[in-house]
Structures are given as structure tokens and as C-alpha cells.
């Protein structure tokens, strides 16, 4: 993969290679064309041949910028080399991440881009650290989502699911999965995910299905799984229970209906007015509740109320502190079959439960005349009838908190239904214990409190779903027997039949429960089922379990993460991972949640086409753990520019390295070592400074990686590369190549450029894998791919004295640059300067005279180093760069004093007029008394700013006039 590069021994101008490269424009590398040089022009023909040898990588010597289309080519090369598989070559403890399996129906969105970026950063870092690294990929069968997709597909063909048998329908779903199920994984590849695709899993794979059945059987054997009728979230359209996660609440306009409930045995004036948002559930009322301290209703407690439209059905009037005296009328109807809160109250008080609704959302026979009506049609009809019978008090607008299905968008119905449940209390205790004893660490730490709160107040888990797509519940019933009393839990139909025959005789007939398990049930086993469990002797299970870290969004801490911890401890005796890292949501530039309704959804694939994968990944990684990130085009544009900056740095370095065929020069260059204090102290000032700063960066960034502070790591690398290396060292190094007669000085600079740049590529690779690998492959004599190279060594030496000295030099250069800008000196004009300092400071500043002159645009022949102010000090601009370091720049070098005096005099006159007008307004009583306070304050601020500018301009004029007078 080695590529030809320029030779240090050449006599042709490198400037001819790319004149734009060395022009100072914006943030590009630059400077004036060199006055002298000793470089040979690049052998482009050889370079092109070498670069296209494998048609994988492109050098900065050939391309003006990094080509995003090469990313897929690079990714395929990595995968073909087997780099994504764990390697035990360097030993160490395995680093393992189970990928959160995206829905098989899914298409890439920014949430996926976030988790892929963060997990790939972890994986690539630990791979370079030498740990056997395994990132297990896969997809989830997504029961409800997938069934919906296929049902819609069938509907487009004029077919309803009910017209097919279960076997026919599931075959159609499998056909769909085979055709479209790989979309999301292909898109995840596009993000650079270096996971081991040879270990890819699907939650309905045979091995994972076996694990699901085994888990169900074991939990049932321990008495942790039971069947019963309880309140669930019911989807009338999907005809299934749905998990809490699949219910989204939205605030929508609706009504509050006020209804009279007459008190049995009372007069016409004895009634209670109830405010409800759902009058159709009144047929399921089993009590009326008031607050025990509400004096308005104290006389009715213990009596009976008549439920409207029920032909006189009575319910008790009870007192309960749950009732909010301030909401509505302070009277609450208890409908335990249709409200989660009412359900819990009824169980506490022992009230009966009435269900008035069919599973398709229509009212049942308990609703009497309204039987068969859709729930929303019934609401209108009931209100109309209440008005006719004078039981309707009023209807007023009210904002409702409406539960809707995340999948289908329909309104969810709280309904009592017979389902399968897991008893969670004992499982939760062990999961709590894992965190409290430090066996599991959650980052950011604040989410530990949330985790503990949920597990402490956990409810039993409804695991059954009334679908056809998913893991069929391994329960069989006996034909002719009560299915709630007589059933068999088995690992297969054959095992169930053998058990049934042993108990009921050979003629027994059995049938399997039609329900499937909640998708989260199989997902809860993901960290160990993908590694071979329940076969605890499986090679992957022995080598890679428990895994190291689970990274995912904080919004599924309860629904997935906590359940994995509970199941992992239950079935393997250990927490399935040591760390949990939770990321936030991706929001738009205004901080709004991305949604199709708002039209602010950003497609990662479109973003990649425009900005490149590396820029997208780097942007997503700079957020703070657990906090939401606002994604803006400005950030993406900035990080695309960062990619280009890296590319241009590589271009410059390659053009200033020896020719690949110059073996002697390369042997000399590769022999440089900068990892000892002795070698460091031998370096010239800029080289010693940049290497010292690099060593500090390596330590800081490595610590940030270890602590999962990826945003800090990324920002530190960015600041060092752009601020220290590109803007300062690369610019300084040009004096070694273009203004130096010493090949040894230039050779040292080559060695430092190569050393620092290759370490920057290593540090940055986990964030921006594509451009860094492309640049790494362009560097000659790279014996392995960057992604499997060794992470930089830490605790390398730094020379604090050299850092301080170079910082002084930087301060001096900045001071001169600021003076040039202040006096509007033409960019190309060279000026003279006297540098005043003590002997020891002058010694190291003067040793880098060429760097000072190049970066400050000084006339090299007229830079003087003295210990006292020069004779022309009064005609010079005096700059204080730091303690005991000053500069005097002759004013005549920077400006035409006569013209500047005229310009400043005119400017002062105009400023004075504007200031006087502002003062006049402020002195006007009518303005101060009548104008709004913020307007007056604004004028006062303008007057203050104008006064300050007038003072500065007068001082400048006085200085210029004194200069003329003394000359």
C-alpha cells in the first residue's frame, strides 16, 4: 500500500506542485512562496501507479480532497482483511459490546447513527489497545412493527390477514424479511460499524429461539411466570396488548363531560356531578369516590348512587384520599375495567371489575342499548341521550393526555385481559444489588437513580402478545380441559405431547397457545443468547461472556437495559455487562425533537453524501453523555472542513518526506525516536514544543477514552491538530524546508511531522475512521492498517521549559500580527522590528528568528534582538508580548503617517457628531420620560461605546502627532 513521496534531496520548487496550497486563504495551510528550498518535484507517474495498485486507497498527492465515495471501498477492504473479528494476538481481556438490535423493518435514522458512532469509537479504541474485540451485530424481529408492515403490503394486494392461515401469513413475513430485512444492516455498515458480521444474529434465528423457549420454561419452573386477567394496554386495531414503551402520550383537544349521578333514595336535588373525559365507560362504573375531607359530599359517603342509562344500577359512594378535590367537581367515577388508576383502586378496595368493551373497540352487552357501537360513536350517542334525560350538566373544552400506539397511531384502550406475566420483584432485587455492589456501573451516573427508582417500584411484566409474528409461547392446552387450570409448558410440541399422554392417556389432544412473546422478552436475552447460551460450553460464551459494556439510548433504560440485567443474573449468575453507557436524543438545531410532522428529520444517508461519514460521526460524538444533542448544518460544515484540513495536512507532509525509493533517507528518518527525555531535549524549540504537547495530548485523550468522555477526547484532538499542529508547527516547519541550508534540520522536521501526524491519526481514528485510514495508507512504510495498529504509548516525556519558551514566542508573534491588523498593514508587506528582552530570552527567541519572521511577516534582514529599547522607540509601536519580552515596530513601516492622520481626524469628527447627537437625546426630558426603558438603556449603551471609541481614536492621533514631532 506504500506510495511514492517527494524527496528531501530535490532541487525543484515544491511550490510548483500546488501553488494554492501555500496561499494564505481562510483556514488553509499557507505562507509566501519559499525563497529557498531543496526538494525534488513529486514523481506523479510512479505515485499514480502505486496508488491504484489495489484500487482501495487514494493519496492526498492525487486527490484535492477526501472522496466520500471511497468510504464503502475502504470498509469492504477492512472486512475482507478480517479486521472486524476478535484477535487474540496481543492478549488482554476481551472487550465485548452487544449491539442494540434495530428493528428488521427499520431504516437508518439519527438515533442509529448515534449508537453506531459511539459504539464504534469504543470498539476501535479497544482494538488498537490490543484487546480481543467483539461487537456483536444483529436485528430484532419487531413483532408488532413487522406484522403491521406485512399486513399493509398484503392490503395493497387486496388480501386481509384473516383470510390467510397462520402458517401462510408467517411464510409471507419470512419472505418479506429475506427480501428487505437486510436494509438496516447495510445502512449501519455505511456508518463504518466495525462489528463482526460473521456473528450477526436475528432474534428469530433457531439458536436464539431455543434460548427464548429455555428462558420461559426455566422461569415457569421457578414459579416466576403465571397466567391471569389484569389491566393492560390494548390496541383495538392490532388486537394485541402492547408494552408501555409502545404507548406515546400526546396532548390533544377534547372535552370534559359533566354528568349527574342521582343519589339512591334521595330527593331530586340529591345528586353528584361527575366530570369525565370518557362517558362511554360509565357502564363499567363500580363505585363513586370523593375525598374524605371534602365537606361538600360528606353526607353522601356510605350511600348508593344510580349509574345513568343503566336502568337503575346502584354503586356505592366511597371516600378515598386518591381523589383530587380540585379537579372537576371533586367526584370520581371508578371504572376499574377501563382506567389504570381505577383498576389499582378497585384492587385495593376489593371492588368488582366490569369490562364494557370488546377487543375491537366496540361496546359489549353490558352497555345495553349501546352494544356494538364503536367507542367513539358511543360517546356521542351517550352524551346526546344524557342531554335528553336531563342528566347532562355541561360539556367544556379540555386538553386530554391521549395514549396512542407508537406503531399504528390509534388510541390505546386500558383493558383487563388474560395474559402471561413475569413476576419481577425477586428479579429486580438482584438487578438493584448489582448496581449497589459495583458489579454494574451506569454512565452518566445520574441515571442510576432512575434505574433504582424503577426497579424499586416495578410491576409484573405482561409478556404475551396477540400476534402471529414472533416467538410462540411454549404452552400447550388439553382439548376439553379448562385452559387456565390445565396446561403444559414444554420445550417442544413433541415434549408437550409426551407429557400430556403420560398424564391423560394416549388419546389426548393438545393445542399450542396462539399468543407470541413480547419482543422485549427475546431482547432481554440478547447479550448471552447471541453468544451461545443456554449452551454454557459454547466457545463464544466461555470467551466473551459477560460482555463489557452496553451502549444505548437513555429512553429504554427500563424496557431493555434493566430487563437484560435481570435476565442475565437470573440465567447466568452474572450481570451481562460491567458498564451501561446511555446517550441522549438527537434534536434539530433549534432543540426540537425530530419528527415528520415538523419536517425536521435529517436522513443520515443524505448527510453522509453531503458531508461524509467522518464529519457526521465526529459531530455526533462531541455531545455530552446522556444529554440531548442539537444537530445543525453549521456543525456538520465545520467538521467537514476539519476533514479537509486533515487532508491538506497529509498533502503537505507527503510533499516534504523523502522519496519512498530513497532507502537511506527513510532508514535515517524511521530511526528517529522521541520517547525519551534525552531525545526530546535535543530537538529545536518548535519541535520539542509540539512533541511535548503531543505527549500530553496522548495522556489526556487516553484518559478520556477510558472514562467514556468521548466529547472531551474529540475536542482535545481537534484543538491540538488545528490549533497547535496545523496553525503553528506546520507553519514553523516551512522554515526548515524552504529557508534552511541544513539537511539535518530539515530531516529532524520531517521526523517530527511524521511522528506527530501518525499519532494524531491514531488518536482520531475511532472518531473518523475513513479519512484517517486513507491518510495512514498514503504514508510510506506503514506495515499494517491503521485500525489494527498499536495505540500510542502513554506517559511519554514532556519538556515544560520548551513549552513555556514556545508559548512566549507565540505571544510575540500574536502581538505583532495584532498590530499589523490594527494598522491595516498589507498582508504581503514585510516590516522591521526590534525584539527587546533579557539575554536568556533573546537567546531562544533569536534561535528561531526564521520562524518569527515567517509567521509575523517580518523582514528577516531587519529584525534586531536587543536588551534595551531602540533609538527610534518613540517613532515605534510598542508591544508587550509577555513578562520581559517586548517588541518595537517602526510606525513608518506599517502606515503612511500623514495619510493616517488625515483619516483618523475625519473619523474622529464623525464619531464626535454621532456622540453629541446621542447625548442630546439623553439630555432631552421628553425622551427620557416618555421613551420605553429598554430604548433609553440602548441609547445610553451606544453613547458609552461611542465615548470609549473617541478616547481610543484621540490617543491614536496623539501618538501619531508625537511621532511626527519627534522625527
Tens-place pLDDT, residues 17-49: 332 233 333 333 333 333 333 333 333 333 333
Q: Cα 816 to chain center, whole Å?
A: 42
Among residues 810, 665, 697, 862, which one has the least CA distance to residue 764? 697
Among residues 762, 770, 618, 758, which one has the least CA distance to residue 56? 770
Evaluated on CA atoms 716, 718, 719, 724, the torsion sign reads: positive
Q: How far apart are CA 562 and CA 788, in angstroms?
A: 34
Among residues 597, 596, 593, which one has the least CA distance to residue 584? 593
pLDDT for res 964: 66
Q: Is the pLDDT of residue 62 over 50?
A: yes
8 Å CB contact between 875 and 890: yes
Strands 516-517, 464-465: pairing is: antiparallel
Q: Is the pLDDT of residue 653 over 70?
A: yes
Say whether the peptide bond before residue 579 is cis (omega within 30 degrees of 0): no
At residue 279, φ and ψ (nearest 5 deg) are: -60, -25
Question: H or E stretch including 348?
Answer: helix 340-349
Query: How is residue 791 written as a grid cell?
Result: 495505540
Instruction: Tell which wins on pLDDT, 17 or 120.
Output: 120
pLDDT for res 965: 63
> Residue range 780-792: average pLDDT?
94
pLDDT for res 33: 35
Assessment of whether the complete model's pTM goes beyond 0.75: yes
8 Å CB contact between 431 and 565: yes
pLDDT for res 966: 62
* Window from 5-14, 705-714, 811-820, 895-904 with minimum mean pLDDT: 5-14
| Beta partners for residue 690, in sequence order | none
Q: How far apart are CA 6 and CA 652, in angstroms?
A: 10
8 Å CB contact between 569 and 151: no
Q: How far apart are CA 157 and CA 172, in angstroms?
A: 12
Among residues 789, 628, 647, 622, which one has the least CA distance to residue 713? 622
> Residue range 607-621: average pLDDT?
95
* HSE value, Cβ hemisphere, 13 Å, CA-based, for 547: 27
* HSE value, Cβ hemisphere, 13 Å, CA-based, for 637: 3
8 Å CB contact between 535 and 526: no
pLDDT tens-place string over residues 288-308: 999 999 999 999 999 999 999
8 Å CB contact between 188 and 109: no
Q: How far apart are CA 542 and CA 134, in angstroms?
A: 13
Q: What is the mean pLDDT of the chain?
A: 89
Q: How far apart are CA 486 and CA 475, in angstroms?
A: 10
Neighbours of 921 (CB within 10 A): 18
| Beta partners for residue 476, in sequence order | 488, 512
Q: Is the pLDDT of residue 9 over 50?
A: no
pLDDT for res 6: 32
Q: How far apart are CA 141 and CA 623, in angstroms?
A: 31
* Window from 302-316, 540-554, 595-609, 784-798 with minimum mean pLDDT: 595-609
pLDDT for res 594: 66
Strands 441-443, 577-583: pairing is: parallel
Evaluated on CA atoms 218, 220, 224, 229, the torsion sign reads: positive
Query: How is residue 663 written as a grid cell?
Result: 532507502
Share of the chain above pLDDT 90, in %: 68
pLDDT tens-place string over residues 728-783: 999 999 999 887 666 789 999 999 999 999 999 999 999 999 999 999 999 998 88
Query: How is residue 576 written as a grid cell?
Result: 451481562
Q: How far apart are CA 647 and CA 652, in angstroms?
A: 9
| Residue pointed to by grid coordinates 495505540 | 791
pLDDT tens-place string over residues 373-393: 999 999 999 999 999 999 999
Question: H or E stretch including 527?
Answer: helix 526-529
8 Å CB contact between 4 and 661: yes
Query: How is residue 671 written as a grid cell?
Result: 530511526
Q: Cα 739 to chain center, whole Å?
A: 47
8 Å CB contact between 236 and 414: no
pLDDT tens-place string over residues 657-679: 998 889 999 999 999 999 999 99
pLDDT for res 603: 84
CA dihedral 719, 723, 724, 726 (to 10 degrees): 110
pLDDT for res 741: 63
Q: Which residues, 6+ apart, have CB-to-CB distance to 218 below 8 Å?
A: 571
Task: Describe the strand order of the beta sheet including 547-553 as a list of residue ranges.
Answer: 441-443, 577-583, 547-553
8 Å CB contact between 701 and 713: yes
**What DSSP string runs through 50-91?**
HHTSSSS---TTT-SS--TTHHHHHHHHHHHHTTTS---TT-
Among residues 356, 360, 232, 231, which one has the least CA distance to residue 285? 356
Among residues 855, 862, 817, which one has the least CA distance to residue 835? 862
Q: Cα 297 to chain center, whole Å?
A: 54
pLDDT tens-place string over residues 158-186: 998 889 999 999 999 999 999 888 899 99
Amino acid at each position: 500500500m506504500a506510495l511514492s513521496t517527494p524527496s528531501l534531496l530535490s532541487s525543484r520548487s515544491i511550490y510548483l506542485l500546488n501553488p494554492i496550497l501555500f496561499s494564505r486563504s481562510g483556514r488553509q495551510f499557507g505562507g509566501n512562496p519559499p525563497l529557498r528550498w531543496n526538494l525534488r518535484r513529486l514523481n506523479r507517474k510512479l505515485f499514480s501507479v502505486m496508488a491504484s495498485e489495489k484500487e482501495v486507497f487514494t493519496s492526498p498527492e492525487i486527490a484535492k480532497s477526501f472522496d466520500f465515495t471511497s468510504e464503502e471501498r475502504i470498509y469492504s477492504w477492512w472486512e475482507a482483511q478480517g479486521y472486524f473479528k476478535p484477535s487474540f494476538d496481543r492478549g488482554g481481556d476481551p472487550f465485548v459490546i452487544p449491539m442494540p438490535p434495530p428493528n428488521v423493518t427499520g431504516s437508518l435514522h439519527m438515533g442509529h447513527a448515534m449508537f453506531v458512532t459511539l459504539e464504534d469509537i469504543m470498539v476501535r479504541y479497544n482494538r488498537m489497545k490490543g484487546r480481543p474485540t467483539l461487537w456483536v451485530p444483529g436485528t430484532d424481529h419487531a413483532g408488532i412493527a413487522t406484522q403491521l408492515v406485512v399486513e399493509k403490503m398484503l392490503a395493497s394486494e387486496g388480501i386481509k390477514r384473516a383470510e390467510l392461515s397462520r402458517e401462510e401469513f408467517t411464510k409471507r413475513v419470512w419472505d418479506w424479511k429475506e427480501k428487505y430485512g437486510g436494509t438496516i444492516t447495510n445502512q449501519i455498515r455505511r456508518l463504518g460499524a466495525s462489528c463482526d458480521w460473521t456473528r450477526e444474529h436475528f432474534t428469530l434465528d433457531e439458536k436464539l429461539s431455543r434460548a427464548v423457549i429455555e428462558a420461559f420454561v426455566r422461569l415457569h419452573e421457578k414459579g416466576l411466570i403465571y397466567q391471569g386477567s389484569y389491566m393492560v394496554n390494548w390496541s383495538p386495531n392490532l388486537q394485541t396488548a402492547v408494552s408501555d414503551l409502545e404507548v406515546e402520550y400526546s396532548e390533544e383537544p377534547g372535552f370534559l363531560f359533566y354528568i349527574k349521578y342521582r343519589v339512591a333514595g334521595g330527593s331530586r336535588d340529591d345528586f353528584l356531578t361527575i366530570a369525565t373525559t370518557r362517558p362511554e365507560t360509565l357502564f363499567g362504573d363500580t363505585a363513586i369516590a370523593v375525598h374524605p375531607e371534602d365537606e361538600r359530599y360528606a353526607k353522601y359517603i356510605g350511600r348508593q348512587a344510580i349509574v345513568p342509562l343503566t336502568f337503575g344500577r346502584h354503586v356505592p359512594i366511597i371516600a378515598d384520599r386518591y381523589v383530587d378535590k380540585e379537579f372537576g367537581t371533586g367526584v370520581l367515577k371508578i371504572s376499574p375495567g377501563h382506567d389504570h388508576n381505577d383498576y389499582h383502586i378497585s384492587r385495593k378496595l376489593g371492588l368488582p371489575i366490569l369490562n364494557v368493551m370488546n377487543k375491537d373497540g366496540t361496546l359489549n352487552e353490558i352497555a345495553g342499548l349501546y352494544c356494538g357501537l364503536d367507542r367513539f360513536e358511543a360517546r356521542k350517542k351517550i352524551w346526546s341521550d344524557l342531554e335528553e334525560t336531563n342528566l347532562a350538566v355541561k360539556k367544556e373544552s379540555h386538553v386530554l393526555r391521549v395514549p396512542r400506539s407508537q406503531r399504528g397511531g390509534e388510541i390505546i384502550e386500558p383493558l383487563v385481559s388474560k395474559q402471561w406475566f413475569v413476576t419481577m420483584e425477586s428479579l429486580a432485587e438482584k438487578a438493584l444489588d448489582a448496581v449497589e455492589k459495583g458489579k454494574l456501573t451506569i454512565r452518566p451516573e445520574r441515571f442510576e437513580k432512575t434505574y433504582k427508582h424503577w426497579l424499586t417500584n416495578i410491576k409484573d411484566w405482561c409478556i404475551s402478545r396477540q400476534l402471529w409474528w414472533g416467538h410462540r409461547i411454549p404452552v400447550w392446552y388439553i382439548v376439553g380441559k379448562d385452559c387456565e387450570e390445565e396446561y403444559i409448558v414444554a420445550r417442544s410440541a413433541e415434549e408437550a405431547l409426551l407429557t400430556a399422554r403420560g398424564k391423560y392417556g394416549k388419546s389426548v389432544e393438545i393445542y399450542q397457545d396462539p399468543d407470541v412473546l413480547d419482543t422485549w422478552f427475546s431482547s432481554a436475552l440478547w447479550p448471552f443468547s447471541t453468544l451461545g447460551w443456554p449452551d454454557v460450553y459454547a466457545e463464544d460464551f466461555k470467551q466473551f461472556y459477560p460482555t463489557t459494556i452496553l451502549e444505548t439510548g437513555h429512553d429504554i433504560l427500563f424496557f431493555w437495559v434493566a430487563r437484560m440485567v435481570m435476565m442475565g443474573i437470573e440465567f447466568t449468575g452474572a450481570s451481562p455487562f460491567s458498564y451501561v453507557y446511555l446517550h441522549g436524543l438527537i434534536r434539530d438545531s433549534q432543540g426540537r425533537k425530530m419528527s415528520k410532522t415538523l419536517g425536521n428529520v435529517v436522513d443520515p444517508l443524505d448527510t453522509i453524501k453531503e458531508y461524509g461519514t467522518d464529519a457526521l460521526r465526529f459531530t455526533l460524538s462531541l455531545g455530552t453523555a446522556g444529554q440531548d444533542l442539537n444537530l445543525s448544518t453549521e456543525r456538520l460544515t465545520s467538521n467537514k472542513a476539519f476533514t479537509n484540513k486533515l487532508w491538506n495536512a497529509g498533502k503537505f507532509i507527503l510533499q516534504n518526506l523523502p522519496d519512498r525509493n530513497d532507502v537511506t533517507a527513510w532508514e535515517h528518518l524511521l530511526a528517529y525516536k522521541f520517547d525519551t527525555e534525552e531525545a526530546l531535549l535535543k530537538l529545536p524549540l518548535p519541535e520539542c514544543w509540539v512533541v511535548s504537547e503531543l505527549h500530553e495530548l496522548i495522556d489526556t485523550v487516553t484518559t478520556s477514552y477510558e472514562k467514556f468522555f468521548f466529547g472531551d477526547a474529540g475536542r482535545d484532538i481537534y484543538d491540538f491538530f488545528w490549533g497547535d499542529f496545523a496553525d503553528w508547527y506546520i507553519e514553523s516547519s516551512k522554515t526548515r524546508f524552504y529557508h534552511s541550508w541544513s539537511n539535518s534540520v530539515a530531516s529532524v522536521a520531517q521526523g517530527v511531522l511524521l511522528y506527530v501526524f501518525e499519532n494524531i491519526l491514531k488518536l482520531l481514528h475511532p472518531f473518523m475512521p475513513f479519512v484517517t485510514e486513507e491518510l495512514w495508507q498514503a504514508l510510506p512504510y506503514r506495515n499494517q492498517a491503521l485500525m489494527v495498529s498499536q495505540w500510542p504509548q502513554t506517559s511519554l516525556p514532556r519538556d515544560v521549559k520548551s513549552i513555556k519558551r514556545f508559548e512566549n514566542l507565540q505571544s510575540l508573534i500574536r502581538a505583532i500580527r495584532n498590530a499589523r491588523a490594527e494598522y491595516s498593514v498589507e498582508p504581503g508587506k514585510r516590516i522591521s522590528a526590534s525584539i527587546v528582552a533579557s539575554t536568556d530570552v533573546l537567546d531562544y527567541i533569536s534561535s528561531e528568528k526564521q520562524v518569527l519572521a515567517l509567521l509575523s511577516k517580518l523582514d528577516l534582514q531587519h529584525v534586531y534582538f536587543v536588551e534595551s529599547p531602540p533609538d527610534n522607540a518613540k517613532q515605534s509601536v510598542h508591544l508587550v508580548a509577555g513578562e520581559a519580552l517586548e517588541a518595537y515596530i517602526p510606525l513608518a513601516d506599517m502606515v503612511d503617517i500623514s495619510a493616517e492622520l488625515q483619516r483618523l481626524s475625519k473619523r474622529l469628527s464623525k464619531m464626535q457628531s454621532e456622540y453629541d447627537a446621542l447625548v442630546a437625546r439623553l439630555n432631552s426630558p421628553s425622551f427620557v420620560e416618555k421613551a420605553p426603558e429598554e430604548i433609553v438603556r440602548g441609547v445610553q449603551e451606544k453613547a458609552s461605546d461611542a465615548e470609549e471609541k473617541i478616547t481610543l481614536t484621540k490617543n491614536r492621533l496623539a501618538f501619531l502627532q508625537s511621532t511626527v514631532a519627534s522625527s
